[in-house]
């Protein structure tokens, strides 16, 4: 049964034809003579023709061998062009960069990063996608995204396969949203125990809902959930309407709902660790220079540190 043709076989037969002998070709290639001879024998067996004539003072191509050598050189040249193009694409600061972001984070963390990155690297065609954690992870695995910004919800793994890796960018503690005039507004911090019997507006975009409920579970409490929503702004609007309180992680500069109604924010009392905002990438894919520069811009724009924390 014929073996498959390989680029190495083509490289070896071209090297032998150009060197005029197996010995000289092996020396140039830094491999053994037996490896070269075996590769050529396998190639001849695969093609079903004799390519080289062995003579006492070296080798010469057969007539069919000369045609095969011409095609082999053309193929190897094309492979070289492919390698160069891939290397240039990988190391270039022009071309496309696809970034994903957890939907509630996007309007808060992306604008300063995108603005700074676009100013520094105007030739990069940057696009972004917003969505849930599951959707972003799926698009990373399918090569749709180069990287994604998302929360690290506690110890949850990036399963399946441990094929994604994280780099922390920022840490965000949870906080409480209260209606204007709420009795607890005078407190410097608000404890969950003081809130558990009041109606909770639960931000429930996965895995956010599970995370906020886990804060209560850690204190042996159970919240009284009145409404659930996957919209960050809907949470703020319902709280501003006095329909309940809520918990969030990411803050904005403006404490008004879309209706122009105010709400209050207070730190959450207790030893709740909060969430990391991470850059997530494929574990076994080397990042392009464009992606590396975007990650540096995330650290620079959001923390003032271009290098960022390790790991």
Q: Output the pTM of the full model.
A: 0.64
For residues 75 and 68, give the distance between their C-alpha atoms in angstroms, rounded to a whole number: 10
List the single range of 51-65, 76-90, 133-147, 217-231 with lowest mean pLDDT.
76-90
Q: Give the per-residue pLDDT at 212.
A: 92
Assign 254 a pLDDT band (cuts: 50, 70, 90): confident
Q: For 221-232, what is the mean pLDDT?
A: 94
Count of beta carbons in the 10 Å neighbourhood of residue 50: 12
Query: What is the spatial order of strands in the sheet that 147-152 belongs to?
Result: 124-131, 95-102, 147-152, 275-282, 164-172
Cite the beta strand spans of 220-284 per DSSP E. 224-229, 246-248, 263-267, 275-282
> Please, what are the domains in the chain?
7-91 (1.10.10.10), 95-170+285-303 (3.40.190.10), 175-267 (3.40.190.10)
In a 13 Å sphere around the CA of 68, the CA atoms on its Cβ side amount to 24
Q: Give the per-residue pLDDT at 84.
A: 58
pLDDT digits (tens, 9 = 90+) for 163-209: 888 889 988 889 999 999 999 988 999 999 999 899 999 999 888 88
What's the token pair of residue 12? Answer: 């070896």
Q: Give the per-residue pLDDT at 179.
A: 96
Say whether pLDDT at 25 is over 70.
Answer: yes
Q: Give the per-residue pLDDT at 203.
A: 94
Q: For 212-220, what is the mean pLDDT?
A: 92
For residues 186 and 264, give the distance between their C-alpha atoms in angstroms, rounded to a whole number: 10
For residues 124 and 92, give the distance between their C-alpha atoms in angstroms, rounded to a whole number: 9
Partners of 243 in the beta sheet?
none
Q: Give the per-residue pLDDT at 305.
A: 61
């Amino acid at each position: 049964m014929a073996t498959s043709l390989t680029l190495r076989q083509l490289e070896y037969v071209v090297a032998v034809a150009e060197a005029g002998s197996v010995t000289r070709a092996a020396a140039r290639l830094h491999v053994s003579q037996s490896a070269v001879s075996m590769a050529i024998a396998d190639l001849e067996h695969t093609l079903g023709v004799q390519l080289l004539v062995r003579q006492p003072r070296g080798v010469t191509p057969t007539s069919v061998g000369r045609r095969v050598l011409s095609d082999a050189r053309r193929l190897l040249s094309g492979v070289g062009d492919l390698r160069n193009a891939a290397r240039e694409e990988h190391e270039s600061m022009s071309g496309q960069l696809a970034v994903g972001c957890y939907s509630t984070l996007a309007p808060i963390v992306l604008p300063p990063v995108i603005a700074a990155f676009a100013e520094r690297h105007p030739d990069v065609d940057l696009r972004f996608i917003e969505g849930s954690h599951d959707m972003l992870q799926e698009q990373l695995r399918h090569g749709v995204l180069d990287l994604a910004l998302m929360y690290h919800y506690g110890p949850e793994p990036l399963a399946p396969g441990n094929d994604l890796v994280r780099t922390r960018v920022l840490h965000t503690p949870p906080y409480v949203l209260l209606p204007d005039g709420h009795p607890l507004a005078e407190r410097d911090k608000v404890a969950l125990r003081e809130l558990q019997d009041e109606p909770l507006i639960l931000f429930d975009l996965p895995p956010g809902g599970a995370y906020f409920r886990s804060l209560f579970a850690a204190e042996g409490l159970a919240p009284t959930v009145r409404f659930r929503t996957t919209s960050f702004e809907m949470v703020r609007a319902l709280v501003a309407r006095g329909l309940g309180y809520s918990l969030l992680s990411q803050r904005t500069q403006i404490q008004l709902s879309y209706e122009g109604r105010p709400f209050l924010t207070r730190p959450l009392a207790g030893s709740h660790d909060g969430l990391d905002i991470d850059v997530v990438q494929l574990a076994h894919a080397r990042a392009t220079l464009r992606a590396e520069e975007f990650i540096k811009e995330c650290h620079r724009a959001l923390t003032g540190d271009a290098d960022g924390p390790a790991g």
